[in-house]
Structure 1
Amino acid sequence: MDILALDLGTSSVRGLVLDADAVPRPGALARRRVRLVTGDDGTGTLDGPAYLACLVECLDELAAGGHLRDVDLVATSAQWHSVLPVAPDGTPSGPVLTWLDTRPEPLPGATGPADPEDFHRRTGAWWHRCYWSVRLPWLRERVDRPAGFTGLAEYTLGTLLDDAPMSISLASGTGLLDLRRLDWDPEACELAGVRPEQMLRLAPDGWHGRLNAAYARRWPQLAGARWAPPVGDGAAANVGSGCVDPTRAAVTVGTSAAVRTIQAVPAGSEPPPLPEQLWRYRVDHHHVVTGAAYSSGGNLFAWASRELRLPEGRELEAALDRVTGSVRANPRFGGDRPPGIAPAGSGELRGLSFGTTAVDILAGLMSGLCRLVADDLALLESGVGEPMEVILGGGALTASPWWRGAFLDVLAPRRVCWQRNPEIGATGAALVALGRLAEADEIAGVGRTDEAASHT
């Protein structure tokens, strides 16, 4: 049995085929870049139909290469927080708002939850522009009478499948889900201007979907495959890093960045206390993920490479090894993720002189993110009472040995290791779909901790 793993990211869509132990099959990878529209006003949107077309192209490519013939299960890692207004016929009536969009704000006269602390305890979220409690009212003022709202994963999979309810994991990222009851929170829905019964249907534990007739004809190899509920990308990255219990934290740097840990909390059980500065979402019906996220990550590296005319490859790494650390930076170029409210354009550089180089600026930005992560990791550790082992992962850290070393330095004296697998999100989603989350740190090629990060 093979597994088709889809990664519905912010900068790209990927599809890859893995074996029964969630190890990637050689050459069975298709990838398409997607166009993220950004602006100085905080815009961060995607075109829904164009995004769907990229996903279809990936599946066409894998099918043409003969990679789908043994697929029995389809797993999906998908970005949290996205929202798409839809017309009565289910077609998009506006662009997809991604996690990166900082424009939504409460409408004039709107008030938040009656008890913010209890709201945070129940939902793991805040009344914040990142969540549907603020996003839906804001969108209604800007879209011509939308009939409803959906997420990016629900839109794409809803087009391909005969049925696509919202997974518990992605529902938790809306900020409207009661994490204990695993149902829509009435007060959160009221803030969003919807009744719980108007919200998307939630996938029950054990749900699986199937391709609809049209796409089953297009990809007959997948006609009998089971489609598992999508997993939020951050949760999937933790599983793919082998960080599936409170002794380990995953630090993932892709387009954005985050630090997170997973705990077993079955449905109906009260989750453990939640520090006021951290969010909490669901991995599935049986586990929660707690952490902090940042709008800046690999996009810092991409911006610096584009604008500062940096050297490349070994030359860049050698130059980074020579920096003195004179530049201090606030890396919040894209603004704050919740609970912070700094808008896009909040990045800062300090300590510049006539001797400052482009590489010094890059090092300052990368080190600034390391310090943000270290502060929030200390909050995570406060809940377990001891230092955690840290597993570094994600494409941006794979690309930069210096950045891995910078994390190693700032997180000392903790044990810090590097997960080499570049597809941790897709791999993690596959492990959740297989029901093997608890084994994630033992399965071959997953959660390897035998090589510490280094500067070389």
Structure 2
Amino acid sequence: MKASAQEGRRVLALDLGSSSVRALVCDAAARPIPGLLARQPIQLRQTDDGAGELDADAYVAALVACLDDLQAAGALDGVELVATSSQWHSVLAVGSDGSAVSPVLTWIDTRARPTHAPADPAAFHERTGAWVHPLYWTAKVPWLRARLGSSAVRFVGLPDYVRGVLLGDDATSLSMASGAGMLDLRGRCWDTEALELAGLSPDAAELPALDDTPRALAPRWHRRWPALRQALWYPAVGDGAASNLGSGCSRPDAVAVTVGTSAALRVVHSSDHPPPSPTVWRYRVDADRLVSGIAFSGGGVLHAWAVQLLRLDPDAEPGIPPGTSGLLAVPLHAGSRPPGTAPPGSGLVAGLSLDTSADEFLAATMEGVALEAERALATLEKLFGTSLDVVLGGGAVDASPWWQRAFAATFDRPVRIADDREVGARGAAALALGLDLPRPVDEVRPDPEDAARMAQVRTKYAALRALTRD
């Protein structure tokens, strides 16, 4: 890694993911500067009982190591702004001194079970954009408190904990608070009923303060990273919202379809749009904009599972065209995301025979993700009342031309291909810079024969999907 001289403002963009933490330097157009990237892997602890935990202090140490690497390379020189894209939904308990007294429960952790329901679930969903569900703090906070007792003084998200260590202030942003499922989206405050459901006091004293004000690095770190001494650290933005901004989907005429480990479709919009429909979540990008979407637990993880099961190369692609497998796969292998309640192990594969090949099984698995996304696309287009421009991105589809082809055929329209794998970090950088990034130019157009076959598959898939409980 070697820093090169470059004119203009520089932004340090942090990406706080569940499998790695990354720090990269972007230029004044929010473009990552080649070579100025540091990455540390993260060890996620998963168990059969539904645990999905991170060690908060080990996570901070990994981020510190990334910044040390960039400092040693001279890559932090000239950085004026620090932007952060972070995984949504994480929570941990802290003691009276702000230190972690529990692991970080990530979105993957499904052990918490709601103990109370809102008085009016539809009204709760309209206010918060969320549901009372194991994904959210309304379920996770009581679960943590029951296990930790009085040692759990307060509850914060992972990026809030990181901010507390580095900036000396563990306040949370509106974007991150909305992903907790406890924010009154219009009031931009903690929701009164959500606090009650989580067993928290009405004044939200056990939660982080809501603050979108940029802050400076705490003095204790000045000697370690002198180049960041004067930099402004902007509030963290949820990774889904950041990915939309980074792929040019910052207006309500476009949908970002992201397939990484999981998958999601999201639309950024202002507050003057209709309330979210029953299966659509809604969070905040910032004080002015919202993001609505539908997410799935099954994305690239299903490709990884299938190639491992079939003993294929990790980057294996089907050797047959989309729509020719003769199989149907409902991709609920890892369970469903809110408002669905399907547990892990709910996936289906129909049409198997003694003649089924590895190519057919892999193709059907990947088609299942595209078919599920097509259902979500129809829901979002109905909500926003328009045909949406599709931008396809994420590490899993970026690495798979076959999957890009299958998505175009399943949607039966051209799909734009995100031109940078670091869309989340780039989106956070663009937000800090006040930029509206253009959409990518490269696109994949559907092959007419692929589209005709996938239209028939869609009909069969809809019938099978109607039989599943989600």
TM-score of the superposition, structure 2-length normalised? Answer: 0.89
Secondary structure in structure 1 of the residue aligned to 2:276 = coil
Pick closer, same or farther for the CA change 1:166–1:365 going to 2, 3 Å.
same
Deviation at 1:373, TM superposition (A): 1.0
Residue number in structure 2 paired with 1:283: 285
Gapped runs of 5+ residues in structure 1?
Answer: 442-446
Contact 1:404 1:453 in 2 (8 A): no
- Range with greater deviation from structure 2 (22-31 or 327-336): 327-336
Deviations 1:143-181 (A, max 9, x none): 243112110111112111132410000000011100001
Q: Which amino acid aligns with 2:195?
A: C
Residue number in structure 2 paired with 1:156: 162
Pick closer, same or farther for the CA change 1:320–1:33 going to 2, 3 Å.
farther
Pick closer, same or farther for the CA change 1:362–1:36 going to 2, 3 Å.
farther
Deviation at 1:7, TM superposition (A): 0.5
CA distance in 2, matches of 1:25, 1:279: 34
Deviations 1:398-433 (A, max 9, x none): 111111111111111x33111121100000011111
Deviation at 1:94, TM superposition (A): 1.7
Give yes or no for the alignment of 1:433 onto 2:421. no
Residue number in structure 2 paired with 1:444: none
CA distance in 2, matches of 1:312, 1:182: 44
Structure 2 counterparts to residues 24-43 of structure 1, below 5 A:
24-43=32-51
Q: Which amino acid aligns with 2:361?
A: I
CA distance in 2, matches of 1:453, 1:156: 42
Give yes or no for the alignment of 1:373 onto 2:384. no
Give yes or no for the alignment of 1:227 onto 2:254. no
Deviation at 1:321, TM superposition (A): 4.1
Runs of 4 or more, structure 1, over 6 Å off, are none
Pick closer, same or farther for the CA change 1:400–1:454 going to 2, 3 Å.
farther
Q: Which amino acid aligns with 1:452?
A: V
Q: Which amino acid aligns with 1:301?
A: H
Contact 2:304 2:314 in 1 (8 A): no
Residue number in structure 1 paired with 2:197: 191
Equivalent of residue 106 in structure 1, options 114, 121, 142:
114
CA distance in 2, matches of 1:157, 1:358: 47
Residue number in structure 2 paired with 1:349: 349
Give yes or no for the alignment of 1:182 onto 2:184. no
Secondary structure in structure 2 of the residue aligned to 1:218 = coil
CA distance in 2, matches of 1:281, 1:417: 24
Contact 1:332 1:345 in 2 (8 A): yes
CA distance in 1, matches of 2:446, 2:312: 22
Secondary structure in structure 2 of the residue aligned to 1:143 = helix
Secondary structure in structure 2 of the residue aligned to 1:217 = coil
CA distance in 1, matches of 2:431, 2:190: 23
Deviation at 1:303, TM superposition (A): 2.2
Residue number in structure 2 paired with 1:147: 153
Secondary structure in structure 1 of the residue aligned to 2:223 = helix
Aligned residues: 437
Contact 2:117 2:132 in 1 (8 A): yes
Structure 2 counterparts to residues 304-343 of structure 1, below 5 A:
304-311=306-313, 313=315, 316-317=316-317, 319-321=319-321, 324-343=324-343
Pick closer, same or farther for the CA change 1:320–1:86 going to 2, 3 Å.
farther
- Range with greater deviation from structure 2 (300-309 or 96-105): 300-309
Deviations 1:228-254 (A, max 9, x none): 000000000011111111111000011
Pick closer, same or farther for the CA change 1:272–1:20 going to 2, 3 Å.
same
Deviation at 1:40, TM superposition (A): 2.5
Give yes or no for the alignment of 1:208 onto 2:209. no
Identity of aligned residues (%): 50
Equivalent of residue 236 in structure 1, options 210, 226, 242:
242
CA distance in 2, matches of 1:362, 1:33: 28
State the superposition RMSD in angstroms.
1.8
Pick closer, same or farther for the CA change 1:253–1:349 going to 2, 3 Å.
same
Deviation at 1:345, TM superposition (A): 2.2
Gapped runs of 5+ residues in structure 2?
Answer: 1-8, 448-470
Residue number in structure 2 paired with 1:297: 299
Pick closer, same or farther for the CA change 1:232–1:252 going to 2, 3 Å.
same
Deviation at 1:322, TM superposition (A): 8.2
Secondary structure in structure 1 of the residue aligned to 2:268 = strand
CA distance in 2, matches of 1:53, 1:434: 27
Contact 1:40 1:344 in 2 (8 A): no
Residue number in structure 1 paired with 2:6: none
CA distance in 2, matches of 1:307, 1:409: 26
Deviations 1:254-306 (A, max 9, x none): 121100101023xxxx6522111100000000100001011121212222333
Structure 2 counterparts to residues 394-433 of structure 1, below 5 A:
394-412=394-412, 414-433=413-432
Deviation at 1:100, TM superposition (A): 1.1
Q: Which amino acid aligns with 2:426?
A: T
